[in-house]
Structure formats: structure tokens, C-alpha cells
Amino acid sequence: MPCPHCRSEDIAHWGAAHGFPRYRCGSCSRTFNVLTKTPLARLRNKERWLTFVGTMVERKSIRKSAAACGVSAATSSRWHKRFLACSTAQRAKIIREVAAAFSNASALTAVSENVSAADLAWAKELLPVVLSWLV
């Protein structure tokens, strides 16, 4: 993945932040992650995106997605628009990193009580389907 700031491919791993691997560009010295300069940059509650993507695949309403993710309808609606604003390639890359970051045991304990572990297990099972649908 080239630097989203200057397109240089001289990048190195630079720890992690907010659950995502972070990278540093050798040319412009700026850091970034998979979300930098995409429509999904700077959104909160990323640990619930996996569940959210599952509800999108099932074509649930904004309101039902919101209930499944434990967020407001306004947030669910914003996520929906931002996900749709991503290119197919961006979405596939982002969902892979979201899955890697949040489909583990520590993420399960971090989610709100509104999202049951059963919901997340369901999202994980769905992930291969989601990925094949996106790419």
C-alpha cells in the first residue's frame, strides 16, 4: 500500500493505533493507516464495523443496523453513506483490516453490552461471504 499523502512506496510498519496497524512514510515522514484519506477516516466505534457490514450485506434498514451495532440511527446512516462512498478496492482492504483488528478475543470483551458475542460470531462467519461479495 503506497503512502496516501505522497504515493511513495517507501513505507515501514510503525506500531498500531486504535486497533489498526500504523505505517510511516520514508519520503514525507507522515504516518497513516488503512483508513487515512478514505471516507471512513476519523469515525468512531470501529470495533462495531464488522457487525455493521454484516447488516449491510443482509440489507437491513438503517434502524435495524443501528440496533444490531448499538449505535444511533444517525451514526448507522453516516456509516452507510461512508461505506458506500469507498471504492470497492478501498472497502475490501478496510474490511480485511477491520476483521484482523477486531475479530479476536480482546475485541469481544471491548464491545458494548448491546452487541452480544453471538452477533460478532455471526459477523465473523459471514466475513468470507462479505469479502467475496466485495472483490
Nearest to 18 by CA among 37, 4, 36: 36
Minimum gap (Å) between residue 22 Cβ and Zn ion: 13
Minimum gap (Å) between residue 92 Cβ and Zn ion: 23
**Cα distance between residue 128 and residue 53, in whole Å:** 12
Diameter of the chain measured on Cα atoms: 45
Q: Which residues bind Zn ion (CB under 5 A)?
A: 3, 5-6, 8, 25, 27-28
Minimum gap (Å) between residue 23 Cβ and Zn ion: 10
* Residue nearer to Zn ion on the CB measure, 8 or 114: 8
In angstroms and rounded to an integer, the radius of gyration of the C-alpha atoms of the chain is 15
* Residue nearer to Zn ion on the CB measure, 3 or 98: 3
* Residue nearer to Zn ion on the CB measure, 29 or 72: 29
What three-state secondary structure class fits 121? Answer: helix
